[in-house]
Amino acid sequence: MTLELSPGVEPGDASSQAMEAWYMDDSEEDQREPHRLVPNQPVSPDRLRELGVFHWKLNADIYETDPELELIRKEQGYSYMDIISIHKDTLANYEEKLKMFFEEHLHLDDEIRYILDGQAYFDVRDKEERWIRIAMTKGDLITLPAGIYHRFTLDRTNYTKAMRLFVGEPVWKAYNRPADDFDIRQKYVASLQDPGA
Ligand SMILES: CSCCC(=O)/C(O)=C/O
Ligand SMILES: [Fe+2]
């Protein structure tokens, strides 16, 4: 069997499997709402890739034995993984953690998450500091580059289960904005100006 593992190249019908993303409005309404502009302003996978955000669509029903996931982990060096269930009945300090996840922050390492069940949103800043909302549903594996400002929230369904992947030992520390002095932030910002660097 040949596996196509390039991020963003979806097996089967790409149009039905592409992850949806859009520019957000700036209303103060509940963070779990979609916050679409009117009319909706979609963001393409290419635009996300320019920001260093990559995506695969996998079959989450077989995540324990999935050769495609195995190959991605091998190729990308994702040696660590654990699973987090984000729901008020399963996650200790649920409210506090959700609040923390929704603070704009960055990490010193890539953030790699694979949605095994339920759904949620990642928000990332674009080059002009506008928020892009990325709708994550079952089977979406996303990588956010080290140094990108982002945040996470559940949607109206209030539940997701996600695999967390790392290269080597996990580092959970999040640095809330402003965190502009970190080398990794400056490197990320430079990569936006000169993607080939
Ligand atoms: C889906 S895992 C919880 C969110 C998280 O770990 C994080 O860092 C969000 O930015
Ligand atoms: Fe994060």
pLDDT single digits (tens) 68-119? 999 999 999 999 999 999 999 999 999 999 999 999 999 999 999 999 999 9
Distances (CA, A) of 184 to 80, 126, 175, 189: 21, 17, 12, 9
ipTM surpassing 0.85: yes
Q: Would residue 8 count as lying in a domain?
A: no
Note the pLDDT of residue 18.
79
Q: Is residue 98 part of a domain?
A: yes
Q: Is residue 132 part of a domain?
A: yes
23-67: pLDDT as tens digits: 999 999 999 999 999 999 999 999 999 999 999 999 999 999 999
In the chain, how many domains are there? 1
HSE (side-chain half, CA atoms, 13 Å) at 50: 13
Report the separation in Å between the CA atom of 1 and the middle of ligand 2, taken as the mean of its atom positions.
35
- What's the CA-to-centroid distance between 143 and ligand 2, angstroms? 11
Give a yes or no: residue 116 inside a domain. yes
Residue 35 lies in a domain: no
Note the pTM of the prediction, 2 decimals. 0.93
* CATH of residue 158: 2.60.120.10
Collapsing DSSP to helix, strand or coil, 26 comes out as coil
Pocket residue to mutate for ligand 1, from 80, 84, 115, most atoms within 8 A of Cβ = 84
